[in-house]
Amino acid sequence: MTDQRKNKIQELIGLNLTQTSRSSNMECLKFGFKANDKNQNIGEFGLHIQTDWRIINEGNILVGSRDLFEPNSENQSELDFVYETGNLRDEKLEAIIKSDNLIVSKIEIDKVGGLTILFKNQTELQIIPTNSSKSEYNEFWRLIDNRKPKTEHIVSRIDGIENE
């Protein structure tokens, strides 16, 4: 990975994790605040995650990507459970973002495209690639810089991290 891409990722340091949304099973995290033309927060940076991930603190998993397939507290019956209408992942992640002041303090990238974001309160977001496919459509994560009119994308795939 070039220094330019590494430096771009490091620009998350000092920003808050402010919001989350989801498109199917892809988690879309927003860092910092930037409104779009509909006055919705798209974040100064967006981080789209398409592989396994978890948020941990003090040795405990607070929420993980596979919690998407577990019912939330309002939807206890697994018989009629539909993840789009309420799931444990959405519920827990929204609560964590609302209750914790998640300010990025450090970022680590491993040799296989994994990413760890450490927050000042000792919470960690760990993105863990688990797919060996070399398909051009197989992304682990994508960092989107929304601060300029033309967005910049940094994408992590099996072959490395690149600009797109």
Report domain extents, the chain.
3-163
Condensed to tens digits (0 to 9), the pLDDT of residues 64-121 reads 999 988 888 877 666 666 667 778 899 999 999 998 789 999 999 999 999 999 999 9
**Hey, is 66 helix, strand or coil?**
helix
pTM for this structure? 0.89
Q: Which neighbouring-strand residues pair with 61?
A: 56
Q: What pLDDT digit, counting tens, does each position of 17-59 carry?
A: 999 998 888 999 999 988 777 877 788 999 999 999 999 999 9
In the predicted model, is pLDDT for residue 127 greater than 90?
yes
Instruction: Band the pLDDT of 14: cuts 50, 70, 90.
Output: very high
CA contacts within 13 A on the Cβ side of 25: 14
- C-beta separation of 57 from 43 below 8 A: no
| Sequence letter at residue 123 | T
Lowest-confidence region among 30-39, 86-95, 137-146, 152-161: 30-39
**Length of the chain, in residues:** 164
